[in-house]
Structure 1
Amino acid sequence: MQLGTRWAAGAEPPARLSPEFVAQVRAIEADLPPNEEGVAQWTLTWLEGRPVAELDTGVIVSVDHAGAVVVHHDDEDEFG
């Protein structure tokens, strides 16, 4: 795993992320309560060359082995 960066919800995400990935990040941010925007932080890491962004609220946006952008919560079993 490689550490990437952190940024505030509502701020510009790192340019290296795909448009599809950023669209999912923006969709999640759109559902945040107004008092969380700019306060909640995303943490970006890279796992096997694929981005994984976790919001302080526990929402995770990642790219699966097939290249699809997926969203889940840290208390969900992502392996089904």
Structure 2
Amino acid sequence: MQLGARWRAGDAPHRGVPDALHGTIAEQEAQHPSAEAWTLTWLEGRPVCELDDVAFVTLDVVGRVRTGPLREGDGAASALHAPHDRAAGGAADGAADPDDDDDDWLK
């Protein structure tokens, strides 16, 4: 079991945040200077860091850093399926996720 954590934006990331995410966390803080705090949660064994309700930083299943905006109602559950991929230069590839509708029955 892995516990989550919170820390203030501008402070060093929580000790539970993998080093691979630190640079992207700093980039997101620079892009969202009015954001106040990060929340670290764990989803399917992977870290998900959310900056208030504006952005997330995570690792995908193969260990690539992924980041993107959070929309109202989004959260850790959707972060792992977002199309924003830092490994591809930070731009979204625009392709639809073929597994995107797998959980439609939950809605």
Give the TM-score, by structure 1 length.
Answer: 0.77
Greater relative contact order (Cα 8 A, min sep 6): structure 1 or 2? Answer: 1
Deviation at 1:16, TM superposition (A): 2.5
**Higher fraction of helix:** 2
CA distance in 2, matches of 1:3, 1:73: 23
Deviation at 1:13, TM superposition (A): 1.0
Aligned sequence identity (%): 39
Deviation at 1:68, TM superposition (A): 0.6
- Unaligned runs of 5+ residues in structure 1 are none
CA distance in 2, matches of 1:74, 1:29: 14
Correspondence for 1:78 = 82
Q: Which of 16, 39, 44 is 1:43 aligned to?
A: 39
- Unaligned runs of 5+ residues in structure 2 are 75-80, 84-95, 97-107
Give the TM-score, by structure 2 length.
Answer: 0.60
Q: Whose radius of gyration is greater, 1 or 2?
A: 2
SS in structure 2 of the partner of residue 51 of structure 1: strand
C-alpha RMSD over aligned residues: 2.3
